[in-house]
Amino acid sequence: MAFIKYLLADAVSAEDRVSDDDNILRIHSVHGQVTKLHYELYRELMYGAGPLSRIQREMIAVTVSVKNACEY
C-alpha cells in the first residue's frame, strides 16, 4: 500500500477544515480547498436528494471498493 503524506489536523487552516477526520480526506489536506470540495461532493453524493437510499449508496461504494481491491 502506498504512503501518502498528509497534514495533521492543526496544520490545516481553519477555513479549510471539515468535520470528518477520515484518512482519505486527510490525504487532501496538503491542498486545503480540495479537502473541503471533496467533502462537500461526498456529502452531496451520500446524503443529497435522489432516487437511491443511503443504504443503497453505501452498498454501491462498498462494491466499487471491493472491485478496485481497496484496502480501506
pLDDT, tens only, 24-45: 777 777 777 788 888 889 899 9
Closest CA to 57 of 44, 68, 41, 46: 46
Confidence at 57, pLDDT banded by 50, 70, 90: very high
Confidence at residue 53, expressed as pLDDT on a 0 to 100 scale: 96
29, 35 Cβ separation under 8 angstroms: yes
Decide if 2 is inside a domain. Answer: no
* Number of domains present in the structure of the chain: 1
C-alpha distances in Å from residue 35, one per residue of 17, 43, 55, 60:
8, 12, 24, 22
Domain-located, residue 4: no
Whether residue 25 is contained in a domain is answered as yes
Which residue range(s) make up the domain with 41?
A: 9-67
pTM > 0.75: yes or no? no
User: Is residue 28 a part of any domain in this protein?
Assistant: yes
Confidence of residue 21 (pLDDT cuts 50, 70, 90): low
pLDDT at 2: 58
